[in-house]
Amino acid sequence: MNKFATVIMAAAAATLLVTACSKKDPNKTYVGISQVGAESDWRRASTKSIEDAVAQRPQIVMTFADAMQKQENQIKAIRSFIRKKVDVISFSPVVSSGFEDILKEAKKANIPVVIFDRAVDTDPSLYVSLVGSDFTEEGRRAARWLIANKPAKDSIKVIELSGTAGSAPAIERQKGFAEIIESTPEIKVVVSQSGNFTRVEGKKVMENILQTPEGKDFDVLFAHNDDMALGAIEAIRDVGKVPGKDIIIISVDGIKDMFQEILKGNANCTVECNPLIGPTLFDVIEKVKKGETVPPRIPSLEGVFDSIGGIEVGNEETPVQTTKITQEIIDGRAY
């Protein structure tokens, strides 16, 4: 367990104790938050955004639980929030399925649920709103960038590093990417394996793939997040190939480390998935506490970044052009 996760768990335990032993102040909003974990720079930025938003809102009393990427931990945490009779429950689901029963428990207890970051595969009436990114469109944007910048070859082979099996971003990013490349028959995904959204596993999985026939001759790496891509870049270098040149590297998230690699020429494109969700999330939570109506889906505003700039990767409804990465942009990045 890393130091960050340990600190968060300790803080969560302390908050649980305080919440359990205190009487509720009617002027405050008691919120139970369950985060996926601390598996990546993106996830840590997401948690910090939540903590910073709470620090600016003295009327919020938050109970925080780190699920450590285990659904069973998350369900236990949500059940504890129900027992403590918090005003609102909010969580980013580890995987998309298997939450129906606990959401029914929350509904029976008249505790509204706001989901953030990742979707759940359940009856929409069991939660109030989903705040977060459109993962399918992220996959589409990655594919559109590839089509606009594909090598002049009859056959373009793609290795895909997918996220945690069963998670919404893994399912939806894969779906969106496949949907767009279907119209370009020369582009084929020849291997798709999970790196579980971590840098360590991204490197390990890529090392294994590079020992296979498919891994010895491919053109593109599409990683479902930057951390896996960064691990894969190390593995690609270790076998004497040049990432960003011999292999086109496309990923999702938009963290500083990936921006630096793109600026150096070691990667090519990252599709933004904005983790700074805290202010929007708590705006929604406070409206829900007051009984106000909120939209069932509140998407994040996000861009796409590369070393070129001006590449159209959006759709007819939402045109999006890539932003060329500069050191100034990196220096101004919050994550």
Residues 128 and 241 in one domain: no
3-state DSSP assignment of residue 164: coil
- Which of 86, 94, 91, 64 has the alpha carbon at shortest distance from 167? 94
pLDDT per position as a tens digit, 66-75: 999 999 999 9
Q: Which of 192, 193, 183, 187 is nearest to 157 (CA)?
A: 187
Residues 295 and 308 in one domain: no
Average pLDDT, the chain: 93
Q: Examine the domain organization and report whether 87 and 216 are in the same domain.
A: no
10: Cβ contacts below 8 Å, ≥ 6 apart: none
CA 44 to mean position of chain CA atoms: 11
What's the rounded Cα separation, in Å, for the pair 2 and 15?
20
The mean pLDDT of 59-65, rounded to a whole number, is 98
DSSP secondary structure, 119-150, as one string: --SS-GGG-SEEEE--HHHHHHHHHHHHHHT-
pTM of the model: 0.85
Are residues 191 and 113 part of one domain? no
Which CATH number fits the domain that encloses residue 11?
3.40.50.2300
Checking if the pLDDT of 119 tops 50, the result is yes
pLDDT at 76: 98
Is the domain of 7 the same as that of 124? yes
pLDDT at 305 over 60: yes
**Mean pLDDT, residues 279-303 taken together:** 95
Alpha helices in 149-264 (DSSP H): 168-181, 199-209, 226-238, 256-264
Task: Give the residue with greater pLDDT, 7 vs 192.
Answer: 192
pLDDT band at 301 (very low <50, low <70, confident <90, very high): confident
| 126-143 pLDDT tens trace | 999 999 999 999 999 999
Query: What is the average per-residue pLDDT within 25-39?
Result: 96
CA distance 110 to 128: 12
Residue 318 — very low, low, confident or very high, per pLDDT cuts 50/70/90?
A: confident
Residue 6 has pLDDT above 50, yes or no: no
| Residue 22 scores a pLDDT above 70 | no
pLDDT in tens, 282-291: 999 999 999 9
Q: What local confidence, expressed as pLDDT, does residue 35 receive?
A: 98
Lowest mean pLDDT among 17-31, 137-151, 233-247, 299-313: 17-31
Q: Amino acid letter at 126?
A: L
Q: How confident is the model at residue 262 (pLDDT cuts 50, 70, 90)?
A: very high
How far apart are the C-alpha atoms of 263 and 99, rounded to whole Å?
A: 41
Q: Are residues 222 and 284 in the same domain?
A: no
- 320 in the same domain as 185: yes
Task: Note whether 324 and 175 are same-domain residues.
Answer: yes
C-alpha closest to that of 2 among 94, 88, 68, 60: 68
Do 100 and 231 share a domain, yes or no?
Answer: no
Q: What is the mean pLDDT of residues 41-59?
A: 96
Positive or negative, the Cα torsion across 282, 287, 289, 290? positive
pLDDT at 196 over 80: yes
Q: Are residues 241 and 265 in the same domain?
A: yes
Question: Is residue 249 over pLDDT 90?
Answer: yes
* Side chain identity at residue 233, one-letter code: I
Q: Domain total for the chain?
A: 2
User: Do residue 320 and residue 214 come from a single domain?
Assistant: yes
How many C-beta neighbours within 10 Å does residue 319 have? 9
Residues 59 and 159 placed together within one structural domain of the fold: no
**Is residue 19 scored above 70 in pLDDT?**
no
Q: Give the structural domain span for 322.
A: 135-273+303-331
